[in-house]
Amino acid sequence: MNRYTENRRGRRSQALLTGLALASVALLTACGTTQGSGGGSSEGPKAATELGKTEGAVSILAWPGYVEDGSNDPAVDWVSAFEDETGCTVTSKTYGTSDEAFNLMKTGEYDVVAASGDASLRLVAAGDVAPVNTDLIPNYEGIYDFLKMQSWNSVDGVSYGIPHGYGANLLMYNTEAVKPAPTSWDVVFDKSSAYKGKVTAYDSPIYIADAAVYLMAHQPDLGIKNPYALDETQLKAAVDLLKEQRVNIGEYWSDYLKEIQAFETGDTVVGTTWQVIRNSLAAGTKAEVIVPEEGVTGWSDTWMIASEAKNPNCAYKWLDYIASPEANAQATEYFGEAPSNQAACDFRSEGSCESFHAGDADYASKIWYWSTPIAECLDGRTDVECTDYSAWTTAWQEIKG
């Protein structure tokens, strides 16, 4: 009897489950359809030709530390001045990864976004951001020329934003554990076995470009011209190199605090880093950073305007304001990167511009700025299809194993 009642109960709950499942299918399909029809318009959005009256508000999506209104630290505030000046009230949201920013922009709730090179092109391709008319931004004048109209902030000669700050992914090493002092990335690639278990690398598919930069110098036969434009063979070579490296990796990092700690404790002795990490290490930590002879990858962030911005005029005001020497200096110094405005260094604290090599065009030219790899090769090749970011993502997972 017991068994019988149990069976009956079982059948009833099964029916209930099926019903619920069907209902949720219907629900999802409905949601999906409305979402699907939104994006991907074939005709790109147009840039503004003139500015109108400010709307009184602007909504900004940015990396942490880019839009500080004093709520995190009363001494760190460049938003209030903007609000007083323009009457545009700023609401802001921060994000942790380029991919998160990419997803958040799809909500249509933001007028302005600060995007790195590995998100900017995707935003342009998805039609989420509009071209920016730099004529409407007086402070654009003061931006370093080597940052203007680059592959990550312009498409077909059309500017999609204003450069903000930039930095390089450098090689950091423990001066006691790594001797002689390295000059090449080979200490984290071909010669990394000497530091087995104490090598680190940046935990993102975009790190494949670091391997490509290394291969450009050491395996010229592969013909890599741009580390973000890899065909199948080139990607495979980079992946193989990274798989060899994987054996000697102690840990990957994406949280920069994690790397600071690992270098301080000696758990990591060599690997990629940012200047700000070196600057944040506890006094007495035996670590140096260098730009290896092969060159480096890096980032250059761009302020972009949403294609369906509700407050385009305030958005333009913000782009102009944040490109001004004072604001640019404050924001980039707080985050720990080089400013984009030539005059910004006058407003930064003593020595801070030097440590980030601000304005050093030679240094900047060694940097391969993050770009989103796309099928259409960024280096101009047309005879071959390049591997896109999703291929890189899959490859990265396989490298980590």
- Please tell me the distance from the alpha carbon of residue 312 to that of residue 112, in angstroms, as a whole number: 9
By CB under 8 A, residue 394 contacts another protein: yes
Please give the residues from 255 up to 284 whose contact with another protein meets the rule CB under 8 A.
Answer: 258, 261-262, 265-267
Minimum CB separation from another protein for residue 113, in Å? 14
Judged by beta carbon, residue 154 or residue 204, the one nearer another protein is: 204
Q: Which amino acid is at 10?
A: G
By CB under 8 A, residue 30 contacts another protein: no
Please give the residues from 98 up to 117 whose contact with another protein meets the rule CB under 8 A.
Answer: 99-100, 102-103, 106
Minimum CB separation from another protein for residue 52, in Å? 30
Q: Single out the segment in contact with another protein by CB under 8 A; choices: 163-171, 226-234, 353-361, 392-400.
A: 392-400
Structure tokens of 32? 């999906």
Q: Is the dihedral of CA 222, 225, 231, 236 positive or negative?
A: positive
Binding string, residues 216-255; x marks residues near another protein by CB under 8 A:
------------------------------x--xxxx---
Structure tokens of 148? 């203007």
Q: Single out the segment in contact with another protein by CB under 8 A; choices: 27-35, 288-296, 306-314, 332-340.
A: 27-35
Structure tokens of 365? 């030219």
Q: How many CB atoms lie within 10 A of CB 77?
A: 15
Structure tokens of 238? 């980079």
Judged by beta carbon, residue 143 or residue 269, the one nearer another protein is: 269
Judged by beta carbon, residue 339 or residue 373, the one nearer another protein is: 373
- Please tell me the distance from the alpha carbon of residue 202 to that of residue 118, in angstroms, as a whole number: 14
Please give the residues from 178 up to 197 whose contact with another protein meets the rule CB under 8 A.
Answer: 197
Give one word for 336, left, alpha or beta, with left for phi > 0 and alpha for psi -120 to 50.
left
First to last CA, the chain: 52
Length of the chain as a residue count: 401
Contact 372, 302 (CB under 8 A): no
Judged by beta carbon, residue 82 or residue 202, the one nearer another protein is: 202
Minimum CB separation from another protein for residue 249, in Å? 4
- Please tell me the distance from the alpha carbon of residue 108 to that of residue 210, in angstroms, as a whole number: 33
By CB under 8 A, residue 25 contacts another protein: yes
Contact 388, 376 (CB under 8 A): no
Structure tokens of 169? 């992914």
Minimum CB separation from another protein for residue 105, in Å? 10
- Interface residue with another protein among 15, 21, 30, 361 (CB under 8 A) is 21
- Please tell me the distance from the alpha carbon of residue 83 to that of residue 333, in angstroms, as a whole number: 21
Binding string, residues 72-101; x marks residues near another protein by CB under 8 A:
-------------------------x-xx-
Cα angle for residues 105, 201, 266 (degrees, 5° grid): 125
Residue recorded with tokens 């407050």? 311
By CB under 8 A, residue 28 contacts another protein: yes
Minimum CB separation from another protein for residue 243, in Å? 11
Binding string, residues 33-52; x marks residues near another protein by CB under 8 A:
x-xx--xx------------
- Please tell me the distance from the alpha carbon of residue 222 to that of residue 230, in angstroms, as a whole number: 10
Judged by beta carbon, residue 57 or residue 391, the one nearer another protein is: 391
- What is the number of alpha carbons within 13 Å of residue 353 lying toward its C-beta? 19
Residue recorded with tokens 């035996």? 286
- Please tell me the distance from the alpha carbon of residue 54 to that of residue 209, in angstroms, as a whole number: 41
Strand pairing category for 296-306 and 158-159: unpaired
By CB under 8 A, residue 398 contacts another protein: yes
Residue recorded with tokens 């020595």? 351
Minimum CB separation from another protein for residue 398, in Å? 5
- Interface residue with another protein among 7, 14, 20, 240 (CB under 8 A) is 20
Cα angle for residues 108, 160, 113 (degrees, 5° grid): 40
Minimum CB separation from another protein for residue 251, in Å? 4
By CB under 8 A, residue 377 contacts another protein: no
Which residues here bind another protein, judged by CB under 8 A?
Answer: 16-17, 20-21, 23-25, 27-29, 32-33, 35-36, 39-40, 97, 99-100, 102-103, 106, 122, 125-126, 197, 204-205, 246, 249-252, 258, 261-262, 265-267, 374-375, 388-390, 393-394, 396-398, 400-401
